[in-house]
């Protein structure tokens, strides 16, 4: 149907003895009432630049505990790119607020452009499986020939300069611009092409990089989380710059925010949010038939406590989104309806993310394989944003 199903599955890839891989699901647990752990890794991404083939370069990154309570780091490893990137010594453990440690990552160059990531598993509810991009540029070799009396001057690659403005927006409701018009050519030539690529998005996001040239305007993220844009520029000598990266943070607002997305297209999934004591498919249930961009009157006077179905998707994989700016006191229930008569009738993984006061308080991915089923996922209590996972048979 239409909505973003964003069930975050946290896959811990921990190397065991004998070279086996342990794949385990790690659910996000509610942060303690007196605060939340928060991880910060700087720099991110880690850019090694251009390293000549056969040579190695080490960089130090700092892992910090910047939350209110103890950060528990349970595992860390190089995920993608372990052929060329290596982590000198993983340092899992408990980090009190304000504590930090240094990690050493080494890149051994093969002369080509290389990407990878550092994966860190912790109890940070917003980033339980943090992935830090690792980047290295390609070595440029200029053939000047060996017969000329005087070698021609070496050409220098252009420099990409990029940013995103603003750097933080409200998902769905606000837009940002990717800016690259300050890029330049060190030889005094001209930049003839700007290649923007969206290299990282939150799970379930479908928003793509806008068309354009140096500046790509009007990017509207459809899922809360971080989006990373990459800019490579080309000069009139045909040389490419090293990539430049800009990061956009899309927030979930200050109220109650529910996202949903699923795996296979052609399977119409519908997101439902029930008011306190509400009943499915009535005006106490916000869904596609009565709640698209608002029309229900919940809570007291005014509209800030009324639900809005911002996104609804039928043929794709979501996302779908329902939010309430200032929800009234009560317990709200989230359901997913496998709408009957879809093109795809097989098993489908559906993800639901629940944010309260801008914080991810609950996420889960469940397999749904029953046309017409109303699957209960979670209850959210306001104020406070405490959650209770729901189960049981489909309705």
Each domain of the chain, given as residue ranges in start order, spans 31-124+126-138+155-251, 256-389
Is pLDDT larger for residue 13 or for residue 310?
Answer: 310
Whole-number average pLDDT of the chain: 88
Measured between alpha carbons, how far is residue 211 from residues 93, 216, 219 in Å?
Answer: 45, 6, 10
pLDDT average, residue stretch 297-319: 93
State residue 370's pLDDT score: 87
| Whole-number pLDDT of residue 359 | 96
Helix (H, G, I), strand (E, B) or coil at 384: coil
Contact 319, 311 (CB under 8 A): yes
Domain 256-389 classification at class level: mainly beta
pLDDT score for 146: 55
Cis peptide before 383 (omega within 30 of 0): yes
Q: Does domain 31-124+126-138+155-251 have CATH number 2.60.40.10?
A: yes
Alpha carbons 284 and 297: distance in angstroms, whole number: 9
Residue 16: predicted pLDDT: 30
Please tell me the pTM assigned to this model.
0.62
Greater pLDDT, 26 or 91: 91
Report the percentage of the chain scoring pLDDT > 70: 88
Tell me what pLDDT residue 138 has: 87
What does the pLDDT average to over 46-70?
A: 92
What's residue 278's pLDDT?
Answer: 96
Question: Which phi and psi angles does 17 have, rounded to 5°?
Answer: -65, 145
CB 267 within 8 A of CB 343: yes
pLDDT at residue 335, rounded to an integer: 97
Point out the least confidently predicted range of 102-111, 173-182, 353-362. 102-111
pLDDT at site 386: 97
CA distances to 189, 263, 331, 369 from 273, rounded to whole Å, are 57, 21, 11, 21
Mapping DSSP to helix (H, G, I), strand (E, B) and coil, where does residue 386 land?
strand
Burial call 317-353: b when 16+ CB within 10 Å, e when fewer: bbbbbbbbbebbebebbbbbbbbeebeeeeebbbbbb
Residue 295 binned pLDDT confidence (cut-offs 50, 70, 90): confident
> What average pLDDT does range 128-153 have in this prediction?
74
Q: Who wins on pLDDT, 88 or 287?
A: 287
pLDDT bin (cut points 50, 70, 90) of residue 59 is very high
Q: pLDDT digits over 190-214, tens only?
A: 999 999 999 999 999 999 999 999 9
Which pLDDT belongs to residue 162? 97
In three state form, how does the secondary structure of 164-177 look?
Answer: EECCEEECCCCCEE
**pLDDT at position 35, please?**
86
């Amino acid at each position: 149907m239409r909505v973003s199903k964003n069930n975050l599955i946290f896959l811990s890839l921990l190397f065991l003895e004998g070279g086996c891989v342990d794949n385990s699901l790690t659910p996000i647990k509610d942060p303690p009432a007196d605060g939340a752990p928060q991880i910060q890794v700087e720099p991110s991404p880690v850019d090694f630049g251009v390293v000549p083939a056969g040579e190695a370069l080490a960089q130090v990154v700092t892992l910090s505990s910047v939350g209110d309570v103890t950060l528990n780091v349970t595992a860390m490893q190089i995920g993608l790119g372990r052929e060329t990137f290596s982590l000198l010594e993983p340092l899992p453990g408990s980090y009190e607020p304000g504590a930090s440690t240094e990690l050493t990552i080494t890149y051994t160059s093969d002369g080509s452009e290389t990407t990878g990531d550092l994966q860190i598993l912790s109890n940070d509810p917003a980033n339980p499986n943090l992935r830090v991009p690792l980047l290295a540029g390609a070595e440029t070799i200029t053939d000047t020939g060996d017969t000329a009396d005087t070698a021609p001057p070496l050409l220098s690659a252009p420099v990409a300069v990029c940013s995103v403005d603003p750097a933080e927006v409200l998902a769905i409701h606000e837009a940002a611009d990717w800016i690259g018009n300050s890029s330049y050519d060190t030889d005094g030539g001209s930049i003839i092409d700007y290649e923007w690529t969206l290299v990282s998005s939150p799970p379930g996001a479908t928003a793509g990089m806008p068309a354009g040239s140096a500046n790509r305007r009007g990017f509207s993220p459809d899922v809360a989380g971080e989006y990373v844009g990459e800019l490579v520029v080309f000069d009139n000598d045909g040389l490419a710059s090293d990539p430049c990266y800009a990061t956009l943070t899309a927030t979930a607002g200050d109220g109650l925010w529910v996202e949903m997305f699923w795996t296979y297209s052609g399977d119409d999934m519908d997101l439902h949010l029930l008011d306190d004591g509400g009943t499915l498919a009535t005006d106490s249930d916000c869904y596609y038939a009565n709640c698209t961009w608002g029309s229900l009157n919940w809570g007291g006077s005014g509209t800030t406590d009324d639900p809005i179905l911002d996104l609804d998707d039928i043929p794709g994989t979501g996302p779908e989104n329902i939010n309430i700016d200032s929800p009234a006191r009560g317990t709200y229930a989230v359901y997913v309806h496998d709408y009957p008569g879809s093109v795809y009738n097989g098993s489908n993984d559906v993800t639901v993310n629940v944010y309260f006061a801008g914080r991810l308080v609950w996420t889960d991915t469940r397999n749904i394989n029953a046309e017409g089923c109303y699957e209960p996922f979670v209850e959210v209590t306001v104020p406070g944003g405490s959650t209770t996972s729901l189960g049981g048979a489909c309705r």
